[in-house]
Structure 1
Amino acid sequence: MYKLLLCVLLAGVSTAHYAQTKEVGVSFIETPIRIDGVLDEAAWDKAVPATNFWQYFPTDTIQAPYQSEIRFLYNDKTLYVGIKVSAQGDDYIVPSLRRDFRAGGSDNITLMFDTFNDGNNAFLFGSNPAGVRREALVSGGGKDLRGFTTSWDTKWVGETTVHDGYYVCEWAIPMSAFKYREGETRWRFNSYQFDTQDNSRNTWIQIPQNQNIFNLAYMGDMVFEKPLGSSKSPISIIPYVNAIAGQDRELDDNFTEIKVGGDARFTIGNSLNLDVTINPDFSQVEVDNAITNLSRFEVGLPERRQFFIENSDLFADFGDPGAANPFFSRRIGIAEDLDGNTVQNNIVAGARLSGKLTNKLRVGILNMQTENDEPIEIASTNNTVVALQHSVFSRSNISAIFVNKQNTSDAGFVQPEEEYNRLIGLDYNLANKDNSWNGKFYLHKSFTPGIDSKDYSGGARMEYNKNNWRATSATLFINEDFNSELGFIPRKDIFRNFSKVERLFFPKGGTINRHIFSLNSFFVWRPEVAFTLGDRTLSPQWEAQFKNTSSLSAKPRTRYTKLFDSFDPSRSDGLELPEGSEYRYTNLEVEYKSDQRKKFYYTANTTYGEFFNGEILTLRAEATLRLQPKLVLGINARYDNIDLPASYADNRIWLVSPRVDVTFSKNLFWNTLVQYSTLQDNFGINSRLQWRFAPLSDLFLVYNDNYFTDTTFAPRFRSINLKLTYWLYL
């Protein structure tokens, strides 16, 4: 055992070097730069650019044929960025004018700044040829998309001008938008650029294709002419007023309401943020996408509420995200009523302190108070999370978490076992310098009144990613009485192992960029039921990624399931398969994704084969038509045909979600999402008009309408609200 631990630690201190050692100077200036997309100030001519970009796609071994140049200037308050992006023409793809665009399938350039030089977290800023901007936070070393958060907002300015064969971006980013250590002289930095005309993706630091293009292991340095001083952020006060009118047609209740509340943001030093919210309102947040869940377990949905976003990795990156996550922020503000229905539970107030105490120590403290709702027997609670993260070795860290959900009501309906729920945990997150090895090792214990044993969860995961080979092995256990009421734990009393081996081939010619062959295995045992095997999945897979960005994949699966509770696979309230029954079944999934650079692109997916004791045919399609840059039309559709033997129910399940996204300008947007789900017995419309009338200040007009679809098309709920949010800087 000690040898295994030694290998893990040695991986963390690997002597592997970054792909390149490159640096770019950042010159100090006294005179501010005018942001107009024209680099005509004399200071720009003196700045030596970061250039010599490398291709990342379709190959990672040559320099980009069309180069970008990035220049930096700064003063005590602002970082100025001047960028020239060369291209073979001016036929750029700009799908819309909406801020925080996705990079894939469009022309754009993105810069990432690792201000604490730890290879784990970075600030990201980007722009496209139309001057549309985006900003994001990258966490977890950029090893996967879970660490990519575009919901983060900060105030900065930028302009873009288009010329024959190139476009120019000029930015001014306040130093207060970053968090960094006073006196620092270097930040780690990288940039990546998408060129749809040349069909290439390029990076300043050379990155192998087996790694993500935003991976933070591969970065150079930007060197400041003199040490950075203190950059105190202004105090931000963000009040809102929301007027809402609605009809709950199930309860025959018409209502009107005016809500007032707001947030405040304070910076402590250069590296800590204190965020306070009073009577928060999230009515303008885009609704969740409807899903068809045919599994026996709950599915987690992403957090969309702005207050919970910044530094969210500090709180959320513990345990296993899909099986044993001790803190899942979406649990705050929802509860179950007397009938077991999930309902909104208003948040009274909250605060969050997050950031760096030292260059190696991050801290996060979150406290939220929810209100008492006695008519439906929902008790008020105080929800607290404390997280600490200390960097070790090259890019690894040790993290600790404490979670506490405490009853603050004296209501008589609160049972003794509901007085509190607590958890403590320790995680070791491994990442070596070139990201060829990463992993996680953790142990968590919960505390619930009346339970003093079988309340642990732990796991270990190791991933290898080097050249043409990728491999993952992950094992976890969850005791039957382990409980985190603020976490996401879809099933308990399990011992689970997942393993995956991938082999990548890169053809030298032809239309295919790479083949990926993989073998996946998934096992779940029930320790409290004589360690009985409950689930087994074996799945080989082949995927071809084409040079035009399209892809084709095939995934056969063979499965075994033993039911420990009765279950209706048709999800139609029909006759359930009996507890203790066993099933062996196979199916095949095939998927094709078209070239995302086209005005019309799509994904088609089908699954056919056995399903428990019957058969299933699943057809999924996603299509997008862009009439750039004003209009994007999209539709997601899924059809499930579940055919079970006589005496068991069949089902035909539809999910159809068309979307219309209109960007009248860079400050005025309208999008409408329609969702029809027979499984959820709902037809819903969410339409949102947003006017950004000042930096980070918005006026929203939001309309929601929902109908039952099971037997008759009957009205369910309707609301319209007008919300004004304004950012004040003191």
Structure 2
Amino acid sequence: MKSMIICLFFLIPYALLANDKEKKEKAFGVNIEPAVSVMQIDGELDPKEWADAELISGFTQQIPNEGMPASSRTEVRMKYDEDFLYVAATLYQNAKEGYVVSSLKRDFRFYENDAFAVILGPYDDGNNGFMFSVSPYNIQMEGLVHHGDRVSDVWDNKWFSSVKRYEDRWEVEMAIPFKTLRFTEGATQWRVNFLRNDRKNFERSSWVPVPLNQRIASVAFSGYLNWDKPLKKPGSNIAVIPYLAGNASKNHQAGEATVSGMAAGFDAKVALSPSMNLDLTFNPDFSTVEVDQQQTNLNRFELFFPERRQFFLENADLFGDFGFSRIRPFFSRRIGIATDSMGRSTNNRILYGARLNGNLGDNFRLGVLNMQTETEESVGYPGQNYTVASFQQKVFTRSNIAGIFVNRQTTGQIKDAGRIADFNRVVGLDYNMASEDNKWTGKFFYHQSFSPDVSGDTKAHGSFLGYNSKRFNLRWNHEYVGESFNSEVGFVPRRGYWRLEPSMMYRMIINSDKVFQQTFQLVYDLYQDEDFQLKMDERLSFVYRLYFKNTSNLQFRLFNEYIYLFSPFDPTRTGGERLAAGTDYSYTRAGLTYSSDSRKLLNYSSTVYMGEYFNGERLFVNTNLNYRFQPFGNISLFAEYNKIDMPTPYNDASLWLVGPKMDVSFTDKLFLSTFVQYNSQIENVNINTRFQWRFKPVSDLFVVYTDNYHPESFQIKNRALILKLTYWINV
């Protein structure tokens, strides 16, 4: 009840301030006409093809000089035909200055490269859309825009582009199939913006101005693309992506023989309408995903590793963005994991799955996901069926009400499986708030879990409200998780607490040749028990950041922290004597981070923290060293060191985590990456090498080799070799 009152307190004034779309001034608009001839996508802007297209220019800086005209001119033109939306851009510059390009690999990071991008918002909700970007070397990046300004670049689809480089400019042409996009049939207007990142000159600009304190890819700051006639439904759009995989592995540590196998399966994408898509998967294989970067675990709670499997990533916000980052009712990495009777995790093969997602009109989004796993007799884990259903209904200008239902149901039969409940369910309702100018954002949610033989407080709720202006960034956050809240398919590392987390940041823009801006931030983070009688954790942080115009930055942090232990805990996690339950600790530490000019071929960042740690002391050093042999790739070295000194009888520890990595792009179709990770905490050296040949758009051959070694003797623990072929077929 307390949380509901808090929510209403914030919702009522916001509703009164919301502006109707009809009253919004449309200061930026572009009219698009059909192409009168066949468009050649060759990177050369033929005057005959583009002469009658409306010219879009007058880009405005976002950084470093907000509101000022861009230093270099950018010109954009658009056309369309029955199958494609065409975008052409001329980006003027002195070629002798060179370009900043990370590699020839697809899905580069827009903010770290010289690049041009178009933002499309087919649904006029100011939150969802598409981003298509090209570098001066014609490397593509496409992404889904969600929550207004967050770009998910894991989305892969077919589109075409070409680039030509000249002494005074580079020119790009794009052809984006309407089948690739999602839109409402009969629409006459889309949101649109054009972005340019001039990385070498530390300048970002856009057609529709975007405030310095906002992300430049925000759909909230966009103009309008006016079609000359209502859009028609594109032709049938069905794609089948079959795969064939072979593997061989050997567990040397257990003295087992080499095991090999073959697998085949497929994914399918079926466009039920221009705005609704059905994804199917049968016997999926996730063996070629990139390896997780390991973490030194000094935490009392479960660590979070992001999802990397392609099937779960497209439109992931419809399923995975409910609640907060540490109160997730659905976390897709739970699917495909089995737990044996000893509590150890192993793979649980997914048999098949389906996902329906998209829009029903401009204001309503729908998502339904169902996955079935196999019974694992060897570990005593029965098959499971996972169902997730969600919706988002737009309210006001850019806000929405969203609901989710998550169900895990045991479907297989196995002896001694009584430890696994027949089902676990979570139902939740979220309100996602965003003002028209994106200064005000927020989230308010209430979730309830249902499990057999579970009683007590099974609810979780939270509220977040943020105000972001050019000077101030103010945030309020509260969380509550009941002791019996049980989200088995979610990510909820701790239960039975209240959390209050207000913060304030002051931003100061500095008008000098070298310094861009500086910020001062205070964050208070408090965990209390359910009755507000016992303080569990408390942290007060001060953070100072200084940003330079050469892209380098400096950061200073000061922490004062309090921790109460509910259970025994070894602060080094090395199996030594544990601190007793019921004891508490208060300590202070400080840290400094510096990141160098990332535009240089050789760049680095380093962090050092020193101070008290429980009843001992801790030194933390983290360094990232990167060399870019442009444009063919990167060589990097990640190193982390923790030195923990504890009084007798507790363990001291010197923990290393070292990870050299090499990414090579031989061409824009041939890639090789090797990632070596040494983790002294788990006494392991891991080597992962991955070769990729993209022989056609979204069609690949992968070769992945993995080794694990004992770090002292380099004796082999296990190794595996995987070959996988995928092929995109348009039906």
Greater shift, 247-256 or 667-676, is seen at: 247-256
Aligned to 1:593: 595
Task: State yes or no: 1:166 paired with 2:173.
Answer: no
What are the ranges of 5 or more consecutive residues in structure 1 without an aligned counterpart?
none
Query: How far off is 1:199 after superposition?
Result: 2.4
Percent of counterpart pairs with the same letter? 38
Task: State yes or no: 1:97 paired with 2:104.
Answer: yes
**Distance of 2:20 and 2:10 partners within structure 1:** 15
* Amino acid in structure 2 at the alignment position of 1:88: N
- 8 A Cα contact 1:23 1:50, kept in partner: no
Output aligned runs, 1:650-661, within 5 Å.
650-661=652-663
**Distance of 2:318 and 2:251 partners within structure 1:** 38
Query: How far off is 1:586 after superposition?
Result: 0.4
SS in 1 for 2:136: coil
**Distance of 1:671 and 1:18 partners within structure 2:** 49
Aligned to 1:716: 717
* Amino acid in structure 1 at the alignment position of 2:266: G
Output aligned runs, 1:8-87, within 5 Å.
8-13=14-19, 21-87=27-93
Output aligned runs, 1:503-522, within 5 Å.
503-522=506-525
- 8 A Cα contact 2:665 2:672, kept in partner: yes
Aligned to 1:496: 499
Query: How far off is 1:540 after superposition?
Result: 1.1
Task: State yes or no: 1:729 paired with 2:711.
Answer: no
Output aligned runs, 1:373-388, within 5 Å.
373-388=376-391
Output aligned runs, 1:604-615, within 5 Å.
604-615=606-617
1:567 corresponds to which of 544, 566, 569:
569
* Amino acid in structure 1 at the alignment position of 2:114: D
1:541 corresponds to which of 539, 543, 553:
543
SS in 1 for 2:112: coil
Task: State yes or no: 1:675 paired with 2:658.
Answer: no
CA RMSD of aligned residues (A): 1.6
What are the ranges of 5 or more consecutive residues in structure 2 without an aligned counterpart?
none
- 8 A Cα contact 1:11 1:437, kept in partner: no
**Residues 47-83 of structure 1, C-alpha deviations (whole Å, 9 max, x = no match):** 1122111111112120102121111000111011111
2:260 corresponds to which of 256, 280, 288:
256
**Distance of 1:315 and 1:641 partners within structure 2:** 40
Task: State yes or no: 1:140 paired with 2:147.
Answer: yes
Aligned to 1:278: 282
Output aligned runs, 1:154-553, within 5 Å.
154-253=157-256, 254-321=258-325, 323-415=326-418, 418-527=421-530, 531-553=533-555
SS in 2 for 1:471: strand
Output aligned runs, 1:594-673, within 5 Å.
594-673=596-675
When the two structures are superposed, what TM-score results if normalisation uses the length of structure 1? 0.97
**Residues 79-129 of structure 1, C-alpha deviations (whole Å, 9 max, x = no match):** 111111111334112221000011233211111101101111111100011
Query: How far off is 1:46 after superposition?
Result: 1.1
**Distance of 1:417 and 1:345 partners within structure 2:** 15
Change (3 A) 1:720 1:4: closer
* Amino acid in structure 1 at the alignment position of 2:56: A
* Amino acid in structure 1 at the alignment position of 2:451: T
Change (3 A) 1:17 1:508: farther
- 8 A Cα contact 2:462 2:477, kept in partner: yes
SS in 1 for 2:500: strand
Change (3 A) 1:191 1:18: farther
Query: How far off is 1:232 after superposition?
Result: 3.6
* Amino acid in structure 2 at the alignment position of 1:338: S
Greater shift, 41-50 or 647-656, is seen at: 41-50
SS in 2 for 1:7: helix
**Distance of 2:682 and 2:47 partners within structure 1:** 59
Query: How far off is 1:217 after superposition?
Result: 1.3
**Residues 658-713 of structure 1, C-alpha deviations (whole Å, 9 max, x = no match):** 1111101011111111111112322101101100111111011110111233x643
**Distance of 2:490 and 2:425 partners within structure 1:** 11
Query: How far off is 1:632 after superposition?
Result: 1.1
* Amino acid in structure 1 at the alignment position of 2:561: R
**Residues 573-615 of structure 1, C-alpha deviations (whole Å, 9 max, x = no match):** 1110000111010000110111111101111101000011110
* Amino acid in structure 2 at the alignment position of 1:330: R
SS in 1 for 2:109: coil
* Amino acid in structure 2 at the alignment position of 1:78: F
**Residues 609-653 of structure 1, C-alpha deviations (whole Å, 9 max, x = no match):** 001111000010011101111131011110000111121100000
Query: How far off is 1:446 after superposition?
Result: 0.3
**Residues 238-274 of structure 1, C-alpha deviations (whole Å, 9 max, x = no match):** 1100010110223333200000111111001111110
- 8 A Cα contact 1:18 1:218, kept in partner: no
**Distance of 1:103 and 1:18 partners within structure 2:** 30
